[in-house]
Amino acid sequence: QVQLVESGGGLVQAGGSLRLSCAASGIIFGINAMGWYRQAPGKQRELVAAITGGGSTSYADSVKGRFTISRDNAKNTVYLQMNSLKPEDTAVYYCNAGIRTGLVSSKNYWGQGTQVTVSS
């Protein structure tokens, strides 16, 4: 049973920083792309940042220059460093990963979500 467990959310003032972590556990042969999504109340879930297995990154325009995604393959963990936070960054943040659970089997997994609240 593969699980993604997130941590690091919380309440921060505008201009502050937070670092989210998401660790994958279980029977894992390998992890392809990993990413962070967020969903604000009344809005659709949106992709914030993604990182491929080779380390290439991409970001939503709204977070470019402020957020940095990284991964530690030895720990099966993806991180999201969030700086210069704004009230509009307030949302539940979810991690996502494409995980190989066998020689040919692969599945997309989601974390349970962690709340990030930025006060003005």
**Ordered DSSP codes for 31-59:** EEEEEEEEE-TTS--EEEEEE-TT--EEE
pLDDT digits (tens, 9 = 90+) for 87-109: 999 999 999 999 999 888 889 99
- Minimal CA–CA distance to 22: which of 116, 120, 113? 113
CA distance 31 to 52: 9
Task: Supply 44's token pair.
Answer: 């659709």
Mean pLDDT by 10 residues, the chain (120 residues): 95 98 95 97 97 96 98 97 98 97 90 97
